[in-house]
């Protein structure tokens, strides 16, 4: 009797919703920003004082009506990022420096280089203070296309 199943090496991996979401979150985990707005093409107000940003990538998707934005954010020493929300998930990674990140319902996280964070859609966050050194974060946002990236809370 022969085995009629496909050999393991010939099987094609399936990309279901869970796997896609996991891949998207991993990609996003490498990128973060605390309360930033993107360039004019991504809708939104300019960033607050003490905060600069550079959009690294902007792509439609992962679903119709959404956009994925990857940005590098620099926060000046001692700057405070105003509380705000996003119309989608934000996932970030701190490249250098330290910053306090108050997140509604979670509390304040003290983040330093090498730390990652994730903020659910619509969750108020920000208001924490940056360290005495510059903070650099890479952030990925998966947000509704027609809405501003950040809104004051």
Kindly report, residue by residue over 82-120, the tens digit of the pLDDT.
898 999 999 999 999 999 999 999 999 999 999 999 999
Q: In angstroms, rounded to a whole number, what is the distance separating the alpha carbons of residues 98 and 125?
A: 16
Taking 50 as the pLDDT cut, the residues of the chain under it are 6, 12-46
Domain spans in the chain, listed from the N-terminal domain onward = 13-152
- CATH number of the domain at 13-152, out of 2.60.120.620, 3.60.20.10, 2.60.120.10, 2.60.40.2130? 2.60.120.10
Residue 101 contacts residue 117 (beta carbons within 8 Å): yes
Residue 81 contacts residue 90 (beta carbons within 8 Å): no
Global pTM reads 0.68
């Amino acid at each position: 009797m022969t085995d009629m199943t496909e050999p393991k090496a010939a099987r094609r991996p399936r990309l279901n919703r869970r796997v896609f979401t996991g891949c998207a979150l991993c990609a996003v985990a490498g990128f973060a920003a605390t309360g930033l707005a993107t360039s004019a093409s991504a809708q939104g107000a300019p960033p607050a004082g003490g905060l600069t940003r550079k959009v690294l990538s902007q792509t439609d998707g992962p679903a119709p009506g959404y956009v994925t934005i990857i940005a590098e954010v620099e926060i000046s020493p001692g700057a405070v990022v105003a509380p705000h929300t996003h119309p989608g998930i934000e996932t970030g990674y701190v490249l250098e420096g330290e910053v306090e990140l108050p997140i509604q319902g979670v509390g304040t996280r003290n983040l330093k280089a090498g730390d990652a964070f994730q903020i659910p859609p619509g969750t108020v966050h920000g208001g924490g203070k940056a360290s005495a050194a510059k903070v650099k974060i890479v952030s990925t946002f998966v947000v509704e296309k027609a809405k501003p990236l950040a809104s004051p809370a």
